[in-house]
Chain A
Amino acid sequence: MSYSELEQEIRLDDIDFSDLEAQYSVSADFGLDNYIVVDGAPVTTENKVPVLTKVLKKLLSTAGELADGEDGFHMPVEDGETKGFLFAQYKEPESARRAIKQLNGKQLDKKHRLLVNALTDVEKYGLEGNIPESFVEPEIPPFKEHGYLKDWLQDEQGRDQALLHFSETVGIYWNKKKNDPEPVIEPRKGFTSKYAKFSPKGTYLCSIHPQGVQTWGGPEFQSMQKFIHNQVRLIDFSPNENYLVTLSPVGIQLPENPAEREHFPFKEESIDHKLVVWNLKTGEPARTFALPPHLEGQKEMPWPLVKWSFDDKYCARQGPNAIAIYETPSFQLLNKKLVEVDSIVDFEWAPSGVQLSGSKSETGDHVLSYWTPESSNQTARVALMQIPSTNILRTINLFQVSDCKMHWHDESKYLCVKVDRHTKSGKTIFSNLEFFKTTERDIPVEKLELKDVVINFAWEPRSNRFITISRLDDGNNNPSIPKNTISFYTHEETNKGKATSSKYKCFQKVEDKFSNNILWAPKGRFVVIANIGKSNGEIEFYDCSFEDDNKANNKTNNNNVKLLKSEKYGGMTNISWDPSGRFVSAWSSSWIHNIENGYKLFEFTGNLLRDDTIDQFREFIWRPRPASLLSAADRKKVRKNLREYSAQFDEADAMEADAATREAILLRRRLLEEWRSYRSKYANQASEKNEVQAEIIEEIKEEIIEEREEVIE
């Protein structure tokens, strides 16, 4: 069969050329990748064109070599004036791309900002018809159901959840006291590449991956939001779960591929930034930051780098000689400038609104404290600053300071600054505690001078009591001698005229201990003091308002410390209270060492409930709870009816204990219910009867009195 015959047989319409067409089609952009359009250039007279040309050519050349001569740079002139735009051609398309990246938005001078675009883009978007005239509704992705995020708070028994991380597996469990914890979800292997973390109110669970952070939530811990941040290491949340902060040692780079770039969360201005603030709910980046230069390349990163005010309204970063305060949600600098503080070492936000004297604010004011060290001609200083006014409310001057630590009281009524001072010789160190009474007029500061150096300090939640762990710095540093002193302080206010002065009274001292950690129960009163160290781990459970029989008639003084229990735990690396203050977990993490990895669960009294040894155990995280919604009156009522409430839980516990009891209790419940419904039909008659009886009871009383008289006779 000849070719011509063949040709006649084949009908050209039947052949599908689409693959070839695709292969050889000529792109409209072809060859135009080298061109850019620069807009926003100054409009000027013809005689200034050479100067302008020179300036712009120089600027454009920073991105790459321009094509030679007129081809490389064309600025149209009409009626003796430039038009404010120009064209340029690079030798390489990469140069053009770089120019767009680097020079777009470039501020030429005060009035002129250059807009650099690819010529192809101008054609693509700028020409009529390429952009549809009518508005097309953007497609809204279907709503992803993830259940009620606060589901775990509705547990009928009010149990708490805890996250157990062992080997590569992360599981969420209900705490069942002595019994095996009950899984909330099937434990997930490879859940996170580093660690898992709950947000401050427990709503979200975060997992860390090389690509970024993933949040999970709802009853089933479904995937909620992805935060793409390459090689992310550290994460932190704003107190009200509005924002997420992530830090990666690798700066942000835009993907080369334009398609990928379209889905990439960051824009050009974020290149090389390492710190990202995200909107936790939407998953959008809110702001990115470069690391301050003094933190670049540091091995240990101070964390968090972004500190939040109690209501998420402000966040602040510390730089060398300044604090940068940002307003949310815009994340613009407060008053558009940095707050300069020479050689600032550290700052802390007040953890709640401060009721400043004379202030009418209902939620309280935003206050932060910072300190600066001594320099050649200046004392060390601790200052309180009000935000947003940036007024300094109070400053104190200190000298011979080697270190300061700021401990805000949880209600922000007090700020205790622990000042470590050195003697004149500089050989030994001792501590002063400076108390700022933030709610009083002019913020008086009171000083407690100690001979010891304080190594740990903790306020009791919602109380003015505190505990210090201190030691006498006598130059003898033999670690095998226990010489730490635990001191329990209260403070008594005395009114002298208008001003109140406080006396800080140590009502209990425990000496010669190794202890180094203070953990108050979330609701106060009970405290765990522990020694977390190389070998001789020990936990001590104290009740700071112990009621013994002697004290029953002395109700004013409830400062009575009692050691409830002392437990040894050799491998212990961490301790944590559950959010309700009923349980304490202590664990030995394989991240620190491989001794006795596992966890122990205690009651707040120190009674050991569980002792689980788990290979490669890493972490025990209680799921945080949001603040209680109960009013003070509600709480009082609960305390009053504690016996009744506890009865319910006792029953629940008994039911958990074994199946037979459970059956019996359920049967009894049913019987009781039946009986009540049976009795309810007589309810009305009974009430009538009762009234009659009530009268008679009074009569009885009378009779008895008469009877007694008789007996006496």
Chain B
Amino acid sequence: MGHERSLTQVKYNKEGDLILSVAKDSSASIWYSSNGERLGTLEGHMGTIWSIDVDSDSILCATGSADVSAKLWKVSTGECVFTYQMKSPIRRVAFSPNNKNLLAVTDKVMGQPGSILVFDINYEGDFTNQNAEPSLVINTREDATKVTVAGWSANGEYIIAGHDDGYISKYDGKTGEFIQTVQAHGIHNEEKVVSVTDIQFAPEDKSYFITSSKDKCSTLIDVETFDVMKVYKADAPMNTAAITPIKNFVILGGGQEARNVTTTAESQGKFEARFYHKIFVDEIGRVKGHFGPLNTIAVHPDGTGYASGGEDGFIRVHNFDKSYFDFEYDAERTERAIASGAT
């Protein structure tokens, strides 16, 4: 399946039967994850759509676009029920875990400061009756660079934001009050471009999250303590990272920037999805397929497969085979053996 231009984000709905994808070609698509059939497209944006998210009941989905608007859509019909007009491009949208709020990250361009806006979502009626004004605005702090990505922690308690300079910040999800920040990227190597490219939360309880960055690294951070627990190192800028349920793996995606491919000596673009062991930090394997950098990865909520969207305009959906589930490190196997022996 393909978009006309490079993918910007893919998402599974909570049940995993639908995949939502957005690309730089101004139309969002919804697909059946089982067979790749397109359920429909969401038409209406005038430019690149940077981000998409769906609520946990698969009733509404939201898109954020470079046409300085965010839109709400009815998943079942594909009709646009509301449009939020903003003053700068929307880089990221995300529903809160209880579906009652939607956050949108606006870019720091066109003289705008760049901020995180939180809207209240009204599920009554035909969904068209929405409040266009944000209930909460978190402006970028003066001592911080612009926010690139953001997401909700468990129960919407915090909003976690990733910055252009590799810092990660934590804000109160209700009041928007700044709580703390940590430098997650730009400290593990000499890379100059350290922008945070993705934040995805732990599938089990959202109590920790993974970040990816242009600095070729990815980190695992605890929400409460904000400690950087693990660092996964790759050899190319990383655009996306996801945590798998069931198995203790993380999947990283990225690769040479398309514009740099011709200027670098290496012909290999490093366009593979990379699997790391979440706990042991070892790289376990890579999955080839895309012929451009990976821009986005989403893992099926049941942990049975993943979808990746590439600069090449393709979404690739992979199902994990038996060896994936059988794979265990010696220490894990021993742990399980001891556990089963004790019962």
Whether chains A and B associate is yes
**A interface list, Cβ under 8 A from B:** 641, 644-645, 647-648, 650-651, 654, 665, 667-669, 671-672, 675, 678, 682, 685-686, 689, 696-697, 699-700, 703-704, 707, 711
Partner of A647, one of B15, B248, B278, B333: B333
Q: Are A689 and B205 in contact (CB under 8 A)?
A: yes
Interface positions of B from 274 to 296, Cβ below 8 Å from A: 278-281
Known: A641-B340, A707-B34. 13 other contacts (CB 8 A): A641-B337, A644-B336, A645-B337, A647-B334, A648-B334, A651-B333, A672-B332, A672-B335, A682-B205, A685-B205, A689-B205, A696-B15, A699-B15
- Residues from chain A with a CB closer than 8 A to the CB of B333 are 644, 647-648, 650-651
Give chain A nearest CB distance to B304 CB in angstroms.
11
Per the bound structure, the CA–CA distance linking A704 and B32 in Å amounts to 10
**CB neighbours of B341 from chain A (8 A):** 641, 644-645
**From residue A55, how far is it (CB to closest CB) to chain B in Å?**
79
Partner of B17, one of A648, A651, A667, A707: A707
Which residues of A are found within 8 Å of B35, using beta-carbon distances? 711
CB-CB under 8 A for A700 and B16, given A672-B331, A678-B222: yes
- CA of A678 to CA of B336, assembled, Å: 18
Assess the B204–A665 pair: CB atoms within 8 A: no
Q: Is B229 an interface residue (CB 8 A)?
A: yes
A293 to B: closest C-beta gap in Å: 59
Interface contact B302-A678, CB-CB below 8 Å: no
The reply to whether the CB of B324 lies closer than 8 angstroms to some CB of chain A is: no
Contacts of B340 in A (CB 8 A): 641, 644
Q: How far is the CB of A662 from chain B (nearest CB, A)?
A: 11
A697 touches B280 (CB 8 A): no
- Cα distance A703–B39 in the bound complex, in angstroms: 14
B204 contacts across to A, CB distance below 8 A: 682, 686, 689
A700 to B58 alpha-carbon distance, docked (Å) = 12
Contacts of A672 in B (CB 8 A): 279-280, 331-332, 335
**Are A700 and B15 in contact, with the CB atoms below 8 A?**
yes
CA distance A415 to B207 in the complex (A): 68
- Greatest chain A CB density within 10 A among B16, B205, B248 is at B205
Whole-angstrom distance between the Cβ of B54 and the nearest chain A Cβ: 14
Q: Is the CB of A686 within 8 A of B205?
A: yes
Instruction: State the CA gap A645–B125 with chains docked (Å).
Output: 59
Give the distance to chain A from B39, nearest Cβ to Cβ, in Å. Answer: 10
CA distance A651 to B328 in the complex (A): 11
User: In the bound complex, how far is the Cα of B278 from the Cα of A672, in angstroms?
Assistant: 10
Query: Chain B residues near A696 (CB, 8 Å)?
Result: 14-15
Chain A residue at minimal CB-CB distance from B18: A703
B58: min CB distance to chain A, Å:
10
Complex: how many Å from CA A685 to CA B340? 24
Q: Which residues of B contact A678 (CB under 8 A)?
A: 222, 229
Between-chain CB contacts (< 8 Å), 20 pairs: A641-B341, A644-B337, A644-B341, A645-B341, A647-B333, A647-B337, A650-B330, A654-B330, A668-B329, A668-B330, A669-B334, A671-B280, A672-B335, A675-B248, A682-B204, A685-B154, A689-B204, A689-B205, A696-B15, A704-B34
Q: Are A665 and B17 in contact (CB under 8 A)?
A: no
Q: Does B1 contact A (CB under 8 A)?
A: no
**Shortest distance between the CB of B197 and any CB in chain A (Å):** 25
Contact partners of A669 in chain B: CB under 8 A? 331, 334
B13–chain A nearest beta-carbon distance, Å: 10
Q: Is the CB of A665 within 8 A of B331?
A: yes
B332, closest chain A residue (CB): A672
Min CB distance B281 to A, Å, is 8
**Bound: A685/B329 CA distance, A:** 27
Q: Which residue of B lies closest to A699 (CB)?
A: B15
Does B338 sit within 8 A of A, measured CB to CB? yes
Residue-wise interface mask of B (13-47) relative to A, using a CB-CB cutoff of 8 A (1 in contact, 0 not): 01111000000000000001011000000000000
Within 8 A of A (CB), among B301-343: 302, 328-338, 340-341
Given contacts A671-B279, A678-B229, contact A651 B205 (CB under 8 A): no
Do B336 and A703 have beta carbons less than 8 Å apart? no
Q: Which residue of A lies closest to B330 (CB)?
A: A651
Q: From B338, which residue of chain A is reached at the shortest CB distance?
A: A648
Q: What are the interface flags for B204-223 relative to A under an 8 Å C-beta threshold, 1 for contact and 0 otherwise? A: 11010000000000000010
What are the residues of chain B within 8 A of A707 when measuring CB–CB?
Answer: 17, 32, 34
**Are A697 and B207 CB-contacts (below 8 A) given A668-B280, A704-B34, A707-B34?**
no
Closest 8 CB pairs of A and B: A647-B333, A644-B337, A651-B330, A668-B331, A675-B279, A669-B331, A648-B337, A700-B15
Query: When the two chains form their complex, are residues A704 and B17 in contact, meaning their CB atoms are under 8 A apart?
Result: yes
Least CB separation from A646: chain B residue: B337
- Bound Cα distance from A177 to B341, whole angstroms: 25
Contacts of B338 on A, CB cut-off 8 Å?
Answer: 648
Shortest CB–CB separation between residue B333 and chain A, in angstroms? 4
Asked if B16 contacts A665 (CB within 8 A), the reply is no
Interchain CB contact under 8 A, A703 and B337: no
Given contacts A644-B341, A668-B280, A700-B17, contact A651 B331 (CB under 8 A): yes
Instruction: Report A-chain residues with C-beta under 8 Å of the C-beta of B278.
Output: 675
Q: Collect the chain B residues with CB atoms within 8 Å of residue A645's CB.
A: 337, 341
In angstroms, Cα B334 to Cα A185, docked, is 30
- Residue from the set A644, A696, A697 with the largest chain B CB neighbour count within 10 Å: A644
B153-170 vs A: 1/0 string, CB under 8 Å? 010000000000000000
In the assembled complex, which residues on chain A have CB atoms less than 8 Å from the CB atom of B280? 667-668, 671-672
* Least CB separation from A683: chain B residue: B205
A contact residues around B15 at 8 Å (CB):
696, 699-700, 703
Contact assessment for A647 and B330 in the assembled complex, using a CB-CB cutoff below 8 Å: yes
Chain A residue at smallest Cβ distance from B281:
A671
Q: Are B279 and A651 in contact (CB under 8 A)?
A: no
Q: Chain A: which residue is nearest B207 at the CB level?
A: A682
